Amino acid sequence: MKTLVRWGLILGLTGSIIPAELPGLGSQQALALPQDQVVSKLQQVPVFTLTNAKGEFIVVSRENQGKKLSQVGFFLSKQDAQKFLDNRLKKENPQLASTLQVRPLSLADYYKIVLEGKKKSDSIIYTLMPMQQQVESAVSLLNQSGQKGNQFNGIPLFVPKFKKENSYLTIPLAQGNERYIPFFFEKEQAVALLDEFKKAVPQEGANTEIQVVDLYGVMEALNSSNDPMMNKIVLYPSRESINFIRSLAPQSPASNQRPAATPPKKK
């Protein structure tokens, strides 16, 4: 969890918002980002699962069309993980539930577990559960844009962008001058960033929108694209997760900074 603690100390957004080009997330090219860079990006996002006192994952089995499915659930929301423990497992198996706890990991840990399971032809399904409210927000945005979004089978990410230039807003993280493209796990975070930008540059307001992409598609693009701009993507955890990360370490001035926006710079 040390990486998460460090991440919690630099989550404040500062400075200006400017556009940047980004290759199509669905494209696949010959080379990929170095694996350690992919893992580093995923390391910044906490996920939560249930374990026993020995730290072993809890496997939930169920019947589906006559077949037995074994599943380990991972949650983007700690509250969702706790609700699953309290509202389901404690009712179905109170003795077992009394021995369980919600354990924090990182998205990188989940990614590695899934890869290892594939190597072993593991029959266990490792499922990452989205935040339902954000799925509904993603469906709503897709419907508004004329896309078929009656169902969204994935983990939605929300990306502020410019329409005409088809480029993405970039921000500097606290400390350092490099600029990054934020991919938010919550629609509300993307809206807040756009609102700050619109206040600073009202004439550009109509030229902005929020794009919905799937986390798995982003992970695939990180693994398949050799475009250096892909390394500028930052996965920005939900507000709940940010508060959890910050609770792991003493507060610092950087962690209390708020987003700020100034007119975009010309390239």
pLDDT digit string, tens, across residues 138-148: 999 998 887 77
Cβ atoms 154, 218 nearer than 8 A? no
pLDDT digit string, tens, across residues 32-49: 556 777 888 899 899 999
What tokens does 137 get? 């927000």
Instruction: Give residues with Cβ within 8 angstroms of 124, minimum separation 6.
Output: 59, 70, 71, 72, 117
Q: Is the model's pLDDT at 240 over the cut of 50?
A: yes
Instruction: Give residues with Cβ within 8 angstroms of 254, minimum separation 6.
Output: 9, 10, 11, 12, 174, 175
Instruction: Give residues with Cβ within 8 angstroms of 103, minimum separation 6.
Output: 48, 49, 50, 51, 55
Greatest Cα pair distance in the chain: 62
Q: Can you tell me whether residue 157 is helix, strand or coil?
A: strand
What tokens does 188 get? 């509300």
**pLDDT value for 178:** 80
pLDDT digit string, tens, across residues 183-230: 999 999 999 999 988 888 888 888 899 999 999 988 888 887 777 778
pLDDT digit string, tens, across residues 74-112: 999 999 999 999 998 999 889 989 999 999 999 999 998
β-strand pairing of 101-106 with 124-129 = unpaired
Q: Note the CATH architecture for domain 2-45+131-256.
A: 3-Layer(aba) Sandwich (3.40)
pTM higher than 0.95, yes or no? no
Per DSSP (E only), the strands in 80-136 are 101-106, 124-129
CA 130, 135, 141, 145 torsion: positive or negative?
A: positive
CA end-to-end distance (rounded Å), the chain: 38
| Partner residues linked to 170 by β-bridges | 18
Locate the domains of the chain by residue range: 2-45+131-256, 47-129
Please provide residue 143's backbone torsions phi and psi, each rounded to the nearest 5 degrees. -65, -40
CA 193, 242, 184, 225 torsion: positive or negative?
A: positive
